[in-house]
Chains A and B, each alone.
Chain A
Amino acid sequence: AQSVTQLGSHVSVSEGALVLLRCNYSSSVPPYLFWYVQYPNQGLQLLLKYTTGATLVKGINGFEAEFKKSETSFHLTKPSAHMSDAAEYFCAVSDPRGGSNYKLTFGKGTLLTVNP
């Protein structure tokens, strides 16, 4: 069974500061990995994904994440936070052996607040 741990249910940064949101997974095989963002009163929007290939993945809105197999991690970073980045962020994994009808396993989420 897969599981996802997001360390820190709430992260607060100043505008212009580095954003680091942590995600660790537990899986018998390296999973496919996704980061989603949810703004208030909206659905989830895909920020980036890792399936195969380059382990440093760039996404939308200046975010990037690096898959580190040895650390079972997929942390999300952004060099400089904007006020508009304030939202809930979810890390999710899927099983590469899952075939069709796959399920996403979500972490509990991290609320990012950005202070002026």
Chain B
Amino acid sequence: DTEVTQTPKHLVMGMTNKKSLKCEQHMGHRAMYWYKQKAKKPPELMFVYSYEKLSINESVPSRFSPECPNSSLLNLHLHALQPEDSALYLCASSQGGYSNQPQHFGDGTRLSIL
């Protein structure tokens, strides 16, 4: 059982839709991350939140909009996505965002863009 919970597990959306991915952790971690993973590839970092503030944006297109309402919750708002955005989206958290602290991953949301 993972301690980082992501919903939904699967999402199919059209290119004009607006949807959101949700991630929750109750481990008291203060850093949270969004990754994108294509098939047979490693995860690619998208965003990092540290103490509920956006600290890293890896030049992600504006059609992806992250939000961290509180220390336990991380959202990723999606709008006007492209077919190449189809992927597994992984959320992770770590204790304080320092480099010796491992990241704990959720099981991801598998996104398909029609």
Contacts and interface: CB of A to CB of B under 8 A. Distances in A.
Contacts, number: 72
B69 interface: no
Interface in A84-116: 90, 94-104, 106-109
A103 B104 CA distance: 13
A83 interface: no
Contact of B42 (A34, A90, A99, A103): A90
A101 B102 contact: no
A104 B93 CA distance: 12
B43 A106 contact: yes
Nearest to B54: A101
Given A42-B107, A108-B42, A102 B98 contact: yes
B21 to A, nearest CB: 13
A45 interface: yes
B4 A100 contact: no
Interface in B82-101: 90, 92, 96-101
Contact of B100 (A36, A41, A96, A106): A96
Given A43-B4, A103-B45, A98 B90 contact: no
Contacts of A32: 99-100
Interface string A48-66: 0101100000000000000
Interface of B: 2, 4, 6, 31, 40-43, 45, 48, 50, 55-56, 90, 92, 96-108, 110
Interface of A: 32, 34, 36, 41-46, 49, 51-52, 90, 94-104, 106-109
11 contacts: A42-B107, A43-B105, A43-B106, A43-B107, A46-B103, A49-B100, A51-B100, A98-B98, A101-B31, A101-B48, A103-B56
